[in-house]
Amino acid sequence: MRALPTSRTNSLPNRITEHDIDRSHISTSAVTVVEQLRDAGFEAYLVGGCVRDLLIGLTPKDFDVATSATPDEVRGVFRRVRLVGRRFRIAHVRLGREVIEVSTFRRAHDTDEDEFPVDLADNSLGEEDDSGYAEVDEPATPPRAGEEQELSDQGMLLRDNLYGTIDDDAFRRDFTVNALYYDPIDDTLLDYCDGMADIRARKLRLIGDAETRFREDPVRILRAVRFEAKLGFALDADTEAAIAPMSELLTAIAPARLFDEFGKLFLSGHALAAFERMRERDLIEILLPLPPHAEPIAEAALKSTDSRLAEDKPVTAGFLLAAFLWHEYLDRCDHTGPIGNGQDNARVANAVIAEQQFTISIPKRHALFVRDVWNLQPKLEKRSPKQVQSLLEHPRFRAAYDFLMLRVDTHDAPAELGEWWTERQKQVGEPAEAGAEQHNGEATEASPNGSRRRRRRRRRRPGRGPSSLARRHEGTAP
C-alpha cells in the first residue's frame, strides 16, 4: 500500500507538464488574479476542486486561488476585495460579475515560533468548500496573537491555522485529489501528495492517517461520501475503514453545520447516489430519523431533485426535508384516512421540526415550507369542490401538489387522488411552473409564504434634505 507523506519533510512536488486540462474551461478572471498576484511578487496557483474537476473533464463552477500573500496584501493588489471569515480570513476578489476566492497558504502549528495565527474558535471549524478549505461569509476579525493548535478531548481541531508555505498548505488539505496546484501561466501542475495518480485511478484518499483526519474534523466523512457520489471515485481501503469507528463523532458537530452539509450532499445533482452511499454506511440517521418504511418517499424526492438540477431548475432543502420527515410526522398524527384536523396537524408538525433542531438545525424559512406542505396534504385529500379555487391559489399549492405526486408514486396516496388534482388544474389552467414555488428559498429571494420579499425603503441620511435624486430612488434597495 502506498504511504503518503503527512508533513513538509520530503515534500518536493512532482512537476507535471503533461495533463488533460483544457484551458478553454478556465475562468479568465481566475487567471487574471493569479497573474496580478505574481506581478506583485507573490506565489499564486489555482488549487483544489477546480483543478481536480478540470483534470477529469468537468467544468468547474468556482475557481479558488492559493497564494503566499496575506489577506491584507491581497487587498493591496486588487481594488474590489472583501475579507471574510472568523476562523480563517479569505479574500473574495471581484472582477466583473465573478468572485474569485483567494486564500493564503496555511500550515499546522508545530513550532514555538511567534507566528501569525488565525482564530478558529468554535465547532464550525473546517466548513470546507470544494477545495478542502473553510468556506465562510462573515466579516473578517483580526487574528489573536499567541494562539496555538488546540484540540478537543476527542481530538477535534478547534484552532489550527497559521500562514505557511505552499508545501505546508498541500499537506493541510483533506484529500490527495484536492492538493494539486495548477500554474495557468506556464500550464504546469505541482503534485505534493500523488493526487494525479489517485485521479487516474479514480481513488479518494485522505492525506495522512485517515482516523486522525476524521477525528480532527468528522465532517470530512460526509465530504468523502459527497465526493464519492459526485466524482464516481472509490474510497481507498484506509479511508473506508476509518468511517465506521469515527462516524459517531458527527453527533458532536454543530446542528447548523450539519444542515449546511445536508444541503451540500443532497442539492449537488448527485443526491440519490450520495443517499445510497450514506445508507450503506449507516450514516443517514446521524442527520435525520429515517426508518425503512420512510425511505421510498425520501428516495423519490432525491431523484426528483437530481432531475430538476439536471434541467437547471431551482431546488430547495425544504422539499427534501418534507419528504425525509414525512413518516415521522405521519406516525405522530395517528391518522386513519385523511390526516387529522388542522390545529393538531400544525402542533405535530411544529414538534417534529423542533426536535430536529438538536441534530440538524433547520432554518425558519425551510421549517415554514415543510409545515405548509404537510398541512396542505389533508386539504388535498378531502377534494372539496368548494376549496378547489382557494387551494389552487395558495402560494404553496404547487409544492404541496408535487409532494402529493411523490406520495402517489410511492403508494402513500391513491393514484386517483393525484389524477383528480391534475384534472382540476387543467380545468382552470396550469399554475406557475413548479420551480417557481416548489423550490423557492435557494434560487429566488422568496419569503416563507411564497411571495417575493418587499424591498426595504432606503433610510435618508440625517441632516440631508430630500434631493431629486433621493426622491427618485426612494423605496428601492441600496
62 counts as catalytic? yes
User: What does the alpha-carbon distance between residue 208 and residue 8 come to, in Å, rounded to a whole number?
Assistant: 12
Angle subtended at Cα 371 by Cα 329 and Cα 305, rounded to the nearest 5 degrees:
90
Nearest to 186 by CA among 20, 11, 23: 23
Nearest to 380 by CA among 419, 343, 328: 419
SS3 track for 258-276: HHHHHHHHHCCCCHHHHHH
Active-site residue, selected from the candidate residues 119, 130, 167, 174: 174
User: What does the alpha-carbon distance between residue 116 and residue 111 come to, in Å, rounded to a whole number?
Assistant: 12
Angle subtended at Cα 46 by Cα 182 and Cα 267, rounded to the nearest 5 degrees:
120
Whole-number Cα distances in Å, 74 to 44, 78, 121, 164:
11, 7, 24, 15
100 beta partners: 93
Q: Where are the alpha helices (DSSP H) in 267-325?
A: 271-280, 284-287, 295-310, 317-324
Active-site residue, selected from the candidate residues 53, 62, 194, 306: 62
Helix, strand, or coil (residue 191):
strand
User: What does the alpha-carbon distance between residue 368 and residue 197 come to, in Å, rounded to a whole number?
Assistant: 47
64 counts as catalytic? yes
User: What does the alpha-carbon distance between residue 440 and residue 433 come to, in Å, rounded to a whole number?
Assistant: 12
Active-site residue, selected from the candidate residues 64, 129, 169, 260: 64
Whole-number Cα distances in Å, 176 to 20, 75, 143, 196, 265:
18, 30, 29, 8, 20
DSSP class of 392: H
**Main-chain phi, psi angles of 55, to 5 degrees:** -70, -25
Residues with catalytic function: 62, 64, 174
